[in-house]
Amino acid sequence: MQDFLLSIYLWLKAGHIIFVIFWMAGLFMLPRLFVYHQEAPEGSAEAAAYVERERKLLKIILLPAIIVVWVLGIALAIAIGAWDQTWLHVKLLFVLILSGYHGYLSAYAKKLARGERPLAGRTLRLLNEVPGIAIAIIVILVIVKPF
């Protein structure tokens, strides 16, 4: 299995990077939609439109992207035999954090769809920084491999 994965390593890597970009784009976009959604009057057609936009972003872009990112990432780790490398463990920690963030955003979308608005717009704008910080750390871990 490892030999086969190594033979298609560059294709796996390209696919992984492509789907990371899709996933990150969605993780940056969703909190911004939440801000606009919360600024729309409750029960309005505009608020309903944001519910639909958020649902489509989650189901059409974010869910497939996170699945492919994980599958290809595991395949890459198997291909290069990286399971015993500290940089990979730290990277996986940050990918788990991003995955949890993704789950949190998904749950928040459901709250907004029910008409609940527990967070302020400012908080949502700050949440928008989470994926940027995490991806910067992940890229450094993968490229520099500091440990």
Residues annotated within the binding site are: 16, 91
Give the residue from 4, 147, 146 showing the smallest Cα distance to 75: 4
Task: List, as residue ranges, the binding site for heme.
Answer: 16, 91
Give the residue from 73, 71, 58, 52 showing the smallest Cα distance to 25: 58
SS3 state of residue 116: coil
- Determine the Cα–Cα distance for residues 18 and 7; give it in Å rounded to an integer: 19
